[in-house]
Amino acid sequence: MTDTLRPRRSALYMPGSNTRALEKAKTLDVDCLILDLEDAVAPDVKQDARQNITAAVKGGGYGDREVVIRVNGMDTPWAGDDLVAAVNAAPDAILIPKVNAPADLERVAQQLKVLDAPKGLELWAMMETPEAMLNAAAIGACGKDAGVNLSCFIMGTNDLAKETGARLLPGRTVMIPWLMTCVAAARAGGIDIIDGVYNNFQDAEGFSAECAQGADMGMDGKTLIHPKQIEACHAAFSPSEDEIAWARRINAAFAEPENAGKGAIQVDGKMVERLHAEMGRRVIAIADAIAARSAV
């Protein structure tokens, strides 16, 4: 579980085989980078991609961006070497694909221990198999298991569609039960959750609508496939000026001496409870964290 609040509004994937993208990432205003060894990399260039990613992460230059390496699935021939390379490169987190159950993460945690990985190294889990949807609560609970150090779910909606037969339609009606189940599982485990990708990166309108939907669902951010998606993503997942002002107003109201003993008060004609003040403090903390990183 993460103890410091980090904005995770955007997580841009890039194939480890694409050195231009690995370099370009250093200039992009994005919260997280997912350097991929898995689906975006063809089998015959897996080894090159591993070398590129190791060199890039070791070389640094990514500033405040959270650097995450997505390794190949644990049942593939590449997984062992991927984990060794990832530990050697020392990113912020390793993203495990096709997680089906807590045991999958526990096994990786065990391997990391054998590799003497630093304690602070986080695990992120792709939620993208039918099994994961059925085991979401148990997987999310790994967020409370110090031995696993799980800090984030990434929704893998393309794989989920492939494995279940469910269609990825505008509005994502058929996916909503799984998406919301994973939001609840993440929150119960005290971890973050980042929404799936929007494949048609030329469709700005459809993308914005899906960002807004993810934000309404309670997602912390969205995974992206192209730099042109970053700006709209940040617009959807950053607290607005109005939200920040409202959060400050209700916290100020509860701080008034006459409201000290009250659980519910009236602000601008609306009923607010202490839980709203608490939600407001999270909004303020996220806004402050975003402002702090834009200032760098």
> Is residue 283 a contact partner of residue 249, using CB atoms and an 8 Å limit?
no
Residue 218 in tokens: 């309670």
Identify which of residues 126 and 277 has a Cβ nearer to ligand COA in the complex: 126
Identify which of residues 196 and 280 has a Cβ nearer to Mg ion in the complex: 196
Site string for ligand COA, 193-222 (x = CB under 6 A): ----x-------------------------
> Which partner in Mg ion, ligand COA, none is near 20 (CB below 5 to 8 A by kind)?
ligand COA
Task: Please report how close the Cβ of residue 172 comes to ligand COA at its closest, in angstroms.
Answer: 16
Q: In whole angstroms, give the CA distance from residue 148 to residue 4.
A: 18
> Which partner in Mg ion, ligand COA, none is near 159 (CB below 5 to 8 A by kind)?
Mg ion
* Locus of tokens 């303020």: 284
Provide the pairing of β-strand 270-273 with 264-267: antiparallel
> Is residue 48 a contact partner of residue 70, using CB atoms and an 8 Å limit?
no
Where b means 16+ CB within 10 Å and e means fewer, 12-46 reads bbbbbbbbebbeebeebebbbbbbbbbbbbeeeeb
Return the ∠ at Cα 289 (arms to 286 and 292), rounded to 5°. 150
Identify which of residues 21 and 150 has a Cβ nearer to ligand COA in the complex: 21
Q: Which of residues 146-185 bind Mg ion (CB under 5 A)?
A: 156, 159
> Which partner in Mg ion, ligand COA, none is near 225 (CB below 5 to 8 A by kind)?
ligand COA
Task: Please report how close the Cβ of residue 74 comes to ligand COA at its closest, in angstroms.
Answer: 18
Element at 230 (helix H, strand E)? helix 230-237
Task: Please report how close the Cβ of residue 24 comes to Mg ion at its closest, in angstroms.
Answer: 22
103: three-class secondary structure by DSSP = helix
Q: Which of residues 11-30 bind ligand COA (CB under 6 A)?
A: 12-15, 20-21, 24-25
Identify which of residues 197 and 272 has a Cβ nearer to Mg ion in the complex: 197
Identify which of residues 80 and 227 has a Cβ nearer to ligand COA in the complex: 227
162 binds ligand COA (CB under 6 A): no
187 binds ligand COA (CB under 6 A): no
Task: Please report how close the Cβ of residue 212 comes to Mg ion at its closest, in angstroms.
Answer: 24
Return the ∠ at Cα 45 (arms to 77 and 19), rounded to 5°. 130
Identify which of residues 82 and 159 has a Cβ nearer to Mg ion in the complex: 159
Residue 239: C-alpha distances to residues 59, 130, 186, 280 (Å):
33, 33, 20, 10
User: DSSP assignment of 60-73, as one string?
Assistant: ---TTSEEEEEPPP
36 binds ligand COA (CB under 6 A): yes
Task: Please report how close the Cβ of residue 228 comes to ligand COA at its closest, in angstroms.
Answer: 7
- Chain residues binding Mg ion by CB under 5 A are 39, 156, 159
- Chain residues binding ligand COA by CB under 6 A are 12-15, 20-21, 24-25, 36, 39-40, 197, 225-227
